[in-house]
Chain A
């Protein structure tokens, strides 16, 4: 079974630009979560999507947004990039089979550098 895939793996942007990152979950997984990892803050929850609806949201500004498609693939968008947005962005999928087990399977991440 293929794992979580994220594209692109690396991205360089300049301040003020916007960026879109993509995540394809494990086949059959309907929940997709996004996290930001920085050296100072560790892994911080951005948002979670289930059945094309945002179900959970972290404490990030409105410049960070996302969506999920009917095939469970998800995208996140960051507008008006700031230097502090440089980070590893991780996507995770969960089977959400109703068992209560919520181990999340992570992709390799997209390394975003803002210059």
Chain B
């Protein structure tokens, strides 16, 4: 039973345009969400996170939106750059009791930004 789903295995966008990566979750106990970026032969790198008490969090070109009622979050990258080409993972966790150190990941979306 996959609790975090990234239904688009791949996404291709033009440089300078917006990239929107989507993620859905089924476990209503999740209250903290993270996005990671992964290049080949490297470990995932933390990008941005959001707590369930917020619906938006921005960091430079990256914005994460959370819709709790729909159990949906999205990562917006504006403007997209060729260096953003990587696999993006959505992850979720629960606060408290040490369980916030267990991340449940989606299967990832391969983003390709074309020059």
Q: Report if A107 contacts B (CB, 8 A).
A: yes
Interface of B is mostly: mixed
Docked-complex contact A107 and B89, CB < 8 angstroms = no
- Tally of chain B residues near chain A (CB < 8 A): 25
Residue of B nearest to A92 (CB): B43
Docked-complex contact A103 and B49, CB < 8 angstroms = yes
A41-B107, A100-B95 are known contacts. Are A33 and B45 too (CB-CB below 8 A)? no
Q: Report if A31 contacts B (CB, 8 A).
A: yes
One digit per residue, 1 when the CB lies within 8 angstroms of any chain A CB and 0 when it does not, for chain B 72-98 equals: 000000000000000001010101001
| Chain B residues with CB under 8 A of A15 | none
Docked-complex contact B98 and A43, CB < 8 angstroms = no
Q: How far is the CB of A99 from chain B (nearest CB, A)?
A: 11
Docked-complex contact B46 and A45, CB < 8 angstroms = no
| Chain B residues with CB under 8 A of A96 | 101
A4-B43, A102-B32 are known contacts. Are A58 and B102 too (CB-CB below 8 A)? yes
- Tally of chain A residues near chain B (CB < 8 A): 28
Docked-complex contact B42 and A50, CB < 8 angstroms = no
| Chain A residues with CB under 8 A of B32 | 102
The listed residue (A42, A55, A109) touching B43 by CB distance below 8 A is A109
Residue of B nearest to A33 (CB): B101
Residue of A nearest to B95 (CB): A100
The listed residue (A45, A50, A106) touching B98 by CB distance below 8 A is A50
Docked-complex contact B44 and A94, CB < 8 angstroms = no
Docked-complex contact B49 and A33, CB < 8 angstroms = no
Docked-complex contact B46 and A56, CB < 8 angstroms = no
Q: Report if A105 contacts B (CB, 8 A).
A: yes
Docked-complex contact A108 and B41, CB < 8 angstroms = yes
Docked-complex contact B41 and A50, CB < 8 angstroms = no
Q: How far is the CB of A103 from chain B (nearest CB, A)?
A: 4
Residue of A nearest to B44 (CB): A106
Q: How far is the CB of B81 from chain A (nearest CB, A)?
A: 22
| Chain A residues with CB under 8 A of B91 | 43
List 8 additional contacts besides A35-B103, A43-B91; criterion CB under 8 Å. A31-B101, A35-B105, A42-B89, A43-B108, A45-B102, A102-B100, A106-B43, A109-B43
